[in-house]
Amino acid sequence: MIKHLRTGLMTASILALSTGAAFADYELNILHINDFHSRIESINKFDSTCTAEEEGKNECFGGAARLKVAIDQKRQELTGKNVLLLNAGDNFQGSLFFTTYKGAAEAEFLNLMKFDAMTIGNHEFDEGEDGLATFLDKVTFPVISSNVLAGYKSKLIDRIKPSLVLDVGGQKIGIVGAVTNDTAEISSPGDNVLIGIDVDTITTAVQDLKKQGIDKIVALTHVGYPRDLAVIAKIPDVDVVVGGHSHSLLSNTAEKAEGPYPTMVDNPGGYKVPVVQAGSYSKYLGDLVVTFDDSGVVKSAKGDPILIDSKIKPDQAVLARIKELAKPIEELKTKIIGKTDAPIDGSRESCRARECQMGDLVTDAMLDRVKGQGVTIAITNGGGLRASIDAGDVSMGEVITVLPFQNTLSTFQIKGADIVAALENGVSQIEEGGGRFPQVAGLKFAFDRSKPVGSRISNVEVKEGEAFVALDPAKAYNVVSNNYMRNGGDGYSIFKTKAENAYDYGPGLETVLADYLAAHNPYRPMTDGRITEIAAATEIKPSAQASTDTTAQTATPDVKPAEQTKTETATPEAKPAAEAAAGAETKHVIAKGDTLWGLAKAIYGNGELWKTIAAANGNPVPEKLEIGKELQIPAK
């Protein structure tokens, strides 16, 4: 029975009461987190582990010790009220605590916070069903998911219920869980666990709760904010959606919020459903207040996530336990994971200007990790490679030194033309030693730094089978990169705006590299010509290199991709043309890779003036410039 029928029956019942008595509203406070991702230690503004120096400057957020205090304080504030604490999944993966303890540390600290319920996230299957089964052995709160369907051979059989009912202040609250439908593709549930379709399994679970007389139902999901809005909130008789998976910060006050908190969605039943999510990495505690009328219909919903910053002092006992658990992690850094036959060059001088050995190694490892998903191209930024590795034994500490940012694999689909545009961005700051230089696998390209920015890339080929073929501009390719670039970092805004079916929360790059080295032991460093420079190189001055260094590469909420580089340096060859154009009309012969935008940018210093060039040449189709044809370049 949908809500508007319930409301109608309620109205009839009220009219039938001779006393005219009114029923009381019911207020429910929902505290919630999602995508904890093993951030047991506090994090900095880059979402990486906070240093002692940053802690001393009050620049840290979250972590288990602060999060516990925030939860305890909020519960104390709500004494005597109706309170639920919910966890929307993905507690696994993201720090060396998970690498070391495989979920046991996460279970220990989450138990201290006394969650009322948790739904499963896709990363809970990163160690297979065995890893999740061990986690279930340790947690003291219920874990639910309606679409995790364990077979009779599974260690999870009968251990994960689709829903549960909790008595909160004398009212029964139904909670239904679900994980993203593509969990089998992006994690490792194994052959004995089937992932059902979320909308179908949630609908069935909700109707089962309805048959029990439950009229207040929360969908606790790990499917992502867009799907919560488009599908989950529209399922009949779902009252509230508490979500995760997309790491979406919803807020009425944060400048970079993805949407309002809560986001109200019209349900076909004639009522509105509040949808909430609270960022990720323990940085926020969601704080929602929902008021129901007596028939279980949401009358109002309000709140905002609580920022877990330095104003919240961490629990000292928890800090002591974290320090104790961290001791073996320091030992992990000395663990030998493989051997290399020769030094692996990861120097900034190499990896920010040309194909480098470390770039080939890391992108090969990335592509190898997701090849089973049909991914054929890997792209990472040379600035994310922070060190070389000496010949001989390779330790986990060395791997972390090369890849220190806790970035994760990101997979997505994007058209060939957009890949070329991304590569153009990658070589746009080569004179300055910019960190955006693209290291690749499954892909070949050439670049000519003597050409204007935006027109430097040529001869792009992709690997199909054992051969390389010309990239098709109109074809959609499956690509793997890192979450920093996929979200627009280092000027790769096209990955943020044009990527489809993006998933940014794969395993950490350091784990991917360590596993690859272990599987290819000993490793022989090499380059194979996948990146070719056409023109003679212009020497990169050390001072220019130093000026573009960054201490961390994870995108921050305060920096838009377009703002990361406020100026683009024209090539030396382009400057005379720009000077000539300023005073007199000039000519330009179209070369392969030329674009009107790129020419306008190099000649006038403003790509938006491409229409000036177009108008002077009969308005040619920008995508079909004829190579060898002469263009008239009007004076600026």
pLDDT digits (tens, 9 = 90+) for 279-294: 999 999 999 999 999 9
CB 339 within 8 A of CB 523: yes
Per-residue pLDDT tens digits for 48-66: 788 889 999 999 999 999 9
Torsions phi, psi for 532 (to 5 deg)? -125, 135
Over range 618-622, report the average pLDDT.
71
For the chain, the 3-state helix, strand and coil shares in percent, each to the nearest 5, are 35, 25, 40
pLDDT over 80 at 352, yes or no: yes
pLDDT at 592: 52
Question: Average per-residue pLDDT in the chain?
Answer: 86
Tens-place pLDDT, residues 559-569:
333 333 333 33
Which residues face 379 on adjacent strands?
Answer: 440
Write down all domains in the chain, each with its CATH number in brackets. 22-327 (3.60.21.10), 336-559 (3.90.780.10), 574-633 (3.10.350.10)
Q: Which two tokens stand for residue 182?
A: 């593509």
For residue 257, the model assigns a pLDDT of: 94
In this prediction, residue 559 carries a pLDDT of 31
pLDDT for the residue 390: 87
Angle (nearest 5°) at CA 393 between 388 and 399: 45
Kindly report the three-state secondary structure assignment for every residue of 412-441: EEEEHHHHHHHHHHHCCCHHHCCCCCEEEE
User: Which residue matches tokens 């957020």?
Assistant: 61
Considering only CA atoms, which of 287, 326, 288, 285 is closest in space to residue 309?
Answer: 285
Residue 378: its H or E element: strand 377-381
The answer to which of 51-55, 100-104, 466-470, 570-574 has the lowest mean pLDDT is 570-574
The least confident of 30-44, 211-225, 229-243, 539-553 is: 539-553
Strand order in the sheet with 263-267: 163-168, 171-179, 217-222, 240-242, 271-276, 263-267
pLDDT of residue 69: 98
* pLDDT interval class at 589 (50, 70, 90): low
Pair 514, 348: CB distance under 8 Å = no
**Rg of the chain over all Cα atoms, to the nearest angstrom:** 28
pLDDT at 472 over 80: yes
pLDDT reported for residue 591 = 62
Using alpha carbons, select from 265, 295, 291, 293 the residue that is nearest to residue 277. 265
- Residue 1 pLDDT more than 50? no
Q: If DSSP codes are grouped into helix, strand and coil, which group holds residue 474?
A: coil
pLDDT digits (tens, 9 = 90+) for 175-206: 999 999 988 877 889 999 999 999 999 999 99
Question: Rounded to whole angstroms, what are the CA distances from 8 to 14, 23, 70, 210, 566?
Answer: 10, 15, 41, 17, 59
Between 114-118, 240-244, 259-263, 619-623, the lowest mean confidence (pLDDT) is in 619-623
Residue 593 — pLDDT band, cuts 50, 70, 90? low
Give the C-alpha distances (Å, rounded to integers) separating 339 from 332, 403, 521.
16, 17, 6
Does 624 or 1 have the greater pLDDT score?
624
Model pTM?
0.67
- Contact at 8 Å (CB) between 173 and 84? yes
C-beta separation of 505 from 483 below 8 A: yes
